[in-house]
Amino acid sequence: MDLNEEIKLLKNKKNAIILAHYYERDEIQDIADIIGDSLALAQEAAKTDADIIVFCGVKFMAETAKILSPKKKVLLPVKDAGCPMADMANKESVLKKKEELNNPVVVSYVNTNADVKSVSDICCTSANAINVVKSLKEDRVLFVPDKNLGEYVKENVKEKEVLLWDGYCPTHNDFSINNLMLLKQEHPNAKVAVHPESPKKVRDAADFIGSTSGIINFVRNNSNKEFIIGTEEGVLFEIKRQNKGKEFYIIGKSAICVNMKKTHLEDLYNALKYEQYEIILNKEIEKKAFKPIEKMISIKRN
Ligand code: 13P
Ligand code: SF4
């Protein structure tokens, strides 16, 4: 029996569900029950009735699933699939900054570790960040940890003071305006769609800015034939599936998140067979992190 069949058998036997982010390898997206952006996957994790959630993504995503479904077994197939941006903030550094800045409300991107969420007032993803910040009654916001997404929010929520953290995604922050301009010269008719984790100059030259799902929807609903895409290249699996006959060009020499690419089919198989690697959080952190994530889930997409 091939690996795909074995994975499906194990999944059914154990009443498990496989969630995968759009940046995962093609074969992982292909076998997943649900593929989505961070927000959609968090929403799915909150409502599934499966006994086991296998999260093909990075650690903060599996942690978010665990916090939302604390009674379920949540598995991350590759133990060290982390997010370098999430590691750019921790609970202590956030509390210190909050005090220095005279207690602004803390909005944390879901791309944070659970300890940061536990001291946050509300979470957001790239799909709802503007609406989350707009929804707050407070006027001063500390946005943790992505300075690019934070700046994008600041530009779109002029009525609030948005204070930025100095974090960034190594994959998106590397996109350069020079590279984008060269691509635009080569493909003058292409529309440009980028993720808000990209630097300002790149965002400013785009026709559309949005989460991975936002980019996928933009391309599907646009009759243009060529697109320049500014996000991790795994998203092309779904985009190409939905858009036969359109052409796509990715900004950057290597738009790859190495952590998202760590999960192979063998890891997924082993995760289901040996029920590894289970996400176990400190119970107090798990409890405290629930509220900001739950609050976020109740707010709609941008
Ligand atoms: P979204 O899924 O919100 O588009 O986020 C991208 C990302 O960097 C996930 O790690
Ligand atoms: Fe983290 Fe960037 Fe990878 Fe997303 S793409 S998991 S933000 S390093």
Q: What is the pLDDT of residues 240-266, one digit of tens each?
A: 999 999 999 999 888 999 999 999 999
Q: Which of 260, 261, 262, 263 to mutate to test the pocket of ligand 2 (most atoms within 8 A of CB)?
A: 260
- pLDDT over threshold 80, residue 6: yes
Q: How confident is the model at residue 209 (pLDDT cuts 50, 70, 90)?
A: very high
- pLDDT over threshold 90, residue 288: yes
Q: Which of 110, 165, 213, 257 to mutate to test the pocket of ligand 2 (most atoms within 8 A of CB)?
A: 257
In ligand 2, the atom with minimum distance to the C-alpha of 85 is 1
Does this model's pTM top 0.85? yes
Pairing of strands 73-75, 226-230: unpaired
Residues in the chain: 302
SS3 category, 123: strand
Tell me what pLDDT residue 1 has: 75
Tell me what pLDDT residue 212 has: 97
Q: Can you name the CATH fold of 3-81+260-280?
A: Rossmann fold (3.40.50)
Q: Whose CA is nearest to atom 5 of ligand 2?
A: 257
CA 54 to chain centre: 16
Cis bond before residue 188 (omega within 30° of 0): no
Calculate the average pLDDT of the chain: 97
Tell me what pLDDT residue 302 has: 75
Separation of 168 CA from ligand 2 center, angstroms?
9
Tell me what pLDDT residue 253 has: 80
Separation of 260 CA from ligand 2 center, angstroms?
8
Residues 187/188/193/194 CA torsion (nearest 10 deg): 80
Domains in the chain: boundaries: 3-81+260-280, 86-169+288-297, 171-250
- pLDDT over threshold 80, residue 135: yes
Q: What is the pLDDT of residues 24-35, one digit of tens each?
A: 999 999 999 999
Pocket residues: Cβ below 6 A from ligand 1: 37-38, 111, 125-127, 169, 195, 197, 211-212
- pLDDT over threshold 80, residue 235: yes
CATH 3.40.630.70 fits 86-169+288-297, yes or no: no
Q: How confident is the model at residue 170 (pLDDT cuts 50, 70, 90)?
A: very high
Same fold, 3-81+260-280 and 171-250: yes
Q: Which of 25, 38, 41, 172 to mutate to test the pocket of ligand 2 (most atoms within 8 A of CB)?
A: 172
- pLDDT over threshold 80, residue 118: yes
In ligand 1, the atom with minimum distance to the C-alpha of 111 is 10
Q: What is the pLDDT of residues 22-63, one digit of tens each?
A: 999 999 999 999 999 998 998 899 899 999 999 999 999 999
Q: Report the distance separating Cα 61 and Cα 45, nearest Å.
A: 10
Q: Can you name the CATH fold of 171-250?
A: Rossmann fold (3.40.50)
Structure-token match 């790149």, residue found: 202
In ligand 2, the atom with minimum distance to the C-alpha of 258 is 3
